Structure 1
């Protein structure tokens, strides 16, 4: 085997070993982030659900409020309607 080819073979083996150690290090670092990223992903899924099913969420909230305080439901419905309108304006900008 010629010297340049032998030199390339050694370099290739060194790079393969370096890549393997980097993969191991990346996997170790990723494990510490797995739980927080999973929690953030669940939060994003909740926000997407609310965005795509606003009536269901609003209806559930109104039901809970009417059970908790039947007399104050109109006050909370007005506040909810105002919050909904403001949210729609902010999202649609």
Structure 2
């Protein structure tokens, strides 16, 4: 084998080792974000559940509106503020 090919093979091997070390470091750093990602997953699951059970949620909302109008209006205000906050964050992200 020529010396150039040996040098190339050694360089390739060193690069592969370095890549493996960098990959391990990246995985280690990404572990810090695991709680954030699990929280986002829980929120996404909740939104999916709410979308699939919209008639039930509407019925509960109407019942609360009839039974306790002040509480319903208070929660409606909180929901509106939350919705506006969500829209602003969504615009910032995109």
Same fold (TM over 0.5): yes
1:24-68, CA deviations, whole angstroms, 9 ceiling, x for partnerless residues? Answer: 1111111001110110111011112212221122233445x37xx
Moved over 2 A (4+): 58-63, 69-73
Q: Say which one has the larger Rg.
A: 1
Residue 46 of structure 1 corresponds to 46
Unaligned runs of 5+ in 2: 84-94
TM-score by length of 1: 0.64
CA distance in structure 1 between the aligned counterparts of 2:51 and 2:24, rounded to whole angstroms: 39
CA distance in structure 2 between the aligned counterparts of 1:27 and 1:4, rounded to whole angstroms: 34
**Superposition pairs of residues 5-20 of structure 1, within 5 angstroms:** 5-20=5-20
TM-score by length of 2: 0.63
Unaligned runs of 5+ in 1: 88-93
Aligned length: 76
Taking a change above 3 Å as real, the CA distance of residues 14 and 71 of structure 1, as seen in their structure-2 partners, is closer
**Superposition pairs of residues 9-88 of structure 1, within 5 angstroms:** 9-63=9-63, 65=64, 70=67, 72=69, 76=72
The CA RMSD measured in Å over matched residues stands at: 3.0
